[in-house]
Amino acid sequence: MKNPFKSLDYRKLKTYSIRERHSKVDIKDFSTPWEKGQNFSSFLDTLPSILAGNDLRCVINEISLAAKSNKQVCFAMGGHVIKTGMSPIVIDLMKKNVLTMISMNGSGIIHDLETAMVGRTSEDVAQSLDDGSFGMVKETSAFLNQAIK
């Protein structure tokens, strides 16, 4: 059988030294270990000012500025925020008027409802997909369908 792919021509391939390349991450940007007894602000200071570490700092700063200026802060989230146990923090931020609006996808309402109804949520997806029981809990669907009517 003939190979349908054209062979690569490596003769034009050129390498260069890492010392010549612009790098986005430098070891001087790395985090430092957080030490026992330090506060949350100190923890944030240990995060690198690159990529996700910088993004987290920016989000915290923007939310803080908005809240201090009495601006609206909409928190759009998925169900993972609830099913990983972060609801108390979200609720606290709502009570403190830091978050003024919450929007979530369909899994958010399911995890929130199940937590409120029975104090637990989040099925084993792999197992329930395999045996055909994924999303088939009767109480959750019955309550939501009745509420929608």
Q: How many domains does the chain have?
A: 1
Per-residue pLDDT of the chain (149 residues; tens, 9 = 90+): 788 888 888 998 999 999 999 988 888 888 888 888 989 888 888 888 888 888 999 999 999 999 999 999 999 999 999 999 999 999 999 999 999 999 999 999 999 999 999 999 999 999 999 999 999 999 999 999 999 99
Residue 59 lies in a domain: yes
Residue 138 lies in a domain: no
Residue 28 lies in a domain: no
Residue 46 lies in a domain: yes
Residue 86 lies in a domain: no
Residue 26 lies in a domain: no
Residue 120 lies in a domain: no
* Cα gap 106→119, rounded to integer Å: 19
* Cα gap 22→16, rounded to integer Å: 12
Asked if residues 99 and 75 have their Cβ atoms less than 8 Å apart, the reply is yes
Residue 128 lies in a domain: no
Range of the domain at 65: 38-71
